Structure 1
Amino acid sequence: MARFVKEIMSPAVVALRPDASLVEAAQLMRAQDVGDVLVAQDGVLLGVITDRDIALRAVAEGLDPLTVSCQSVCTPDPVCVGPEEEITTAQRLMRDHAVRRLPVVDGRGTVGVVTIGDVVQDRDPDSALAHISRATPDL
């Protein structure tokens, strides 16, 4: 029986405005215990910024995370999935586009995020990745 993205996604959408600094993004990621933040303005999804984006596209380049905006290092126009799509569709999109997270979007806007960890926990809850995804991070 098919299962759907809405059954495994995180409905909590963590978002920042495009002009927010990378420090604000990192602090929000820490506070919310997530590895990505959506970049949005007036309810419109502009991009996704990950902890890896901050590290590789900004810090490793010597940019000042206090002055660099989220929009300048985020992945614009992210690949998205609908909540009524089958989990296998999300899995295929992640594989085809080499992404670990997908914003979940419906006619009202962004309603959640589904991660590779969510997919793995659903498909193989005893796998190493599923256990890692459930683990409390060391901060």
Structure 2
Amino acid sequence: MAQKVNEVMTPVPVAVSPDASLVEAGDLMREHGIGDVLVVHEGRLRGLVTDRDIVVRAVAAERDMAATTVAEICSTNVVTVAPGEDAEAAVTLMRRHAVRRIPVMDGDRPIGMVSIGDLAVQRDERSALADISAEPPNI
């Protein structure tokens, strides 16, 4: 029987409000050893900001990290998946949309995050990507 997304996801994703600064988002990423935070307003997903977004859309553009909000640079057309979907559906979405992380949604509310590493462990816990994903962050 195929595993469901809610069996492989990381529950309780890290989130910030749209008016949080890029410094705040970066601090949360470092603190939690992650590469993304959800942008949530009143419990509803408004976007996703990644470490790469911060580098490409803010650092390289020489924006003021303390004055720039996540709402200004986050991706708003976020690919999502439902918790009851097969994990393979998440793999298909990642391939189709060239993303490495997908918020898991219960209606319009984020309840988790599934990453390429989560899915690698689910598919083959002895794979190189699963080994790398299981290691603690190097911060």
Q: Tell me whether the two structures share a fold, i.e. TM-score over 0.5.
A: yes
Partners of 1:63 and 1:23 in 2: how far apart? Answer: 11
Deviations 1:52-106 (A, max 9, x none): 1111111011111111110111110301000000001000000000000000001
- Normalised TM-score (structure 1): 0.96
Aligned residues: 139
Residue 127 (str. 1) matches residue 127 (str. 2): yes
- Aligned partner of 2:78 in structure 1 is 78
Give RMSD over aligned pairs.
1.0
Runs of 4+ in structure 1 over 3 Å off? none
TM-score for both structures, normalised by structure 2: 0.96
Q: After TM superposition, give the deviation of residue 39 of structure 1 in Å.
A: 0.2
Identity %: 50
Structure 1, gaps ≥5 residues long: none
Q: Which residue of 1 aligns with 2:91?
A: 91
Greater relative contact order, per chain length (Cα 8 Å cut-off, separation 6+)? 2
Output the CA distance in 2 between the equivalents of 1:113 and 1:122. Answer: 14
Structure-2 separation of matches of 1:111 and 1:78: 15
Q: Could you give the per-residue CA deviations for residues 3-32 of structure 1, whole angstroms, max 9, x where no partner exists?
A: 100000000221100011000000011111
Q: 2:52 maps to which residue?
A: 52
Q: Which runs of 5+ in 2 are unaligned?
A: none
SS in 2 for 1:103: strand
